């Protein structure tokens, strides 16, 4: 899990199958030493993991990403320039499957738009 290591959860609201979280990135995290030295960028896989962890919190399930139908990384996230992000996840749970649409942004800047399906990993 990345929470409390790569990022800190500042707020989390979950109502009517919509979760909204504010997170602060740890710009000193070791991952930024290699991705990339002198030009830190939050890896896309970490962005997807953050969505997964917040969706798990919203649903109370242990989830596994089974399908990413549309995943667009629109801008790079430099944690030294942008360290507070808002992650919005609209989701619908049906049995063992959770479908979602997620957006990561800061102010007017949109960094990630994705829709996908997660399955209960038990």
29-67: per-residue pLDDT in tens? 999 988 787 899 999 999 999 999 999 999 999 999 999
Listed by start position, the domains of the chain span: 7-120
pLDDT for position 16: 94
Please provide the size of the chain in residues. Answer: 122
Which CATH class name applies to 7-120? Answer: alpha beta
pLDDT for position 1: 67
H or E segment and range at residue 85: strand 84-94
- Over 90: is that where the pLDDT of 122 sits? no
- Over 80: is that where the pLDDT of 4 sits? no
62-114: per-residue pLDDT in tens? 999 999 989 999 999 999 999 999 999 999 999 899 999 999 999 999 999 99
What is the reported pTM?
Answer: 0.95
> How far apart are the C-alpha atoms of 101 and 79, rounded to whole Å?
24
Residue 91 CA to its chain's centroid (Å): 13
């Amino acid at each position: 899990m990345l929470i409390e290591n790569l990022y800190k959860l500042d707020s989390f609201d979950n109502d009517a199958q919509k979760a909204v979280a504010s997170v602060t990135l740890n710009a000193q995290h070791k991952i930024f030493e290699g991705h990339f030295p002198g030009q830190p960028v939050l890896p896309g896989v970490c962005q997807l993991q953050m969505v997964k962890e917040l969706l798990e919190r919203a649903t109370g399930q242990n989830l596994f990403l089974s399908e990413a139908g549309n995943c667009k990384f629109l801008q790079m996230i430099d944690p030294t320039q942008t360290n507070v992000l808002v992650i919005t996840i609209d989701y619908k749970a049906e049995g063992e499957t959770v479908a979602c649409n997620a957006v990561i942004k800061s102010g007017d800047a949109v960094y990630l738009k994705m829709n996908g399906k997660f399955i209960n990993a038990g």
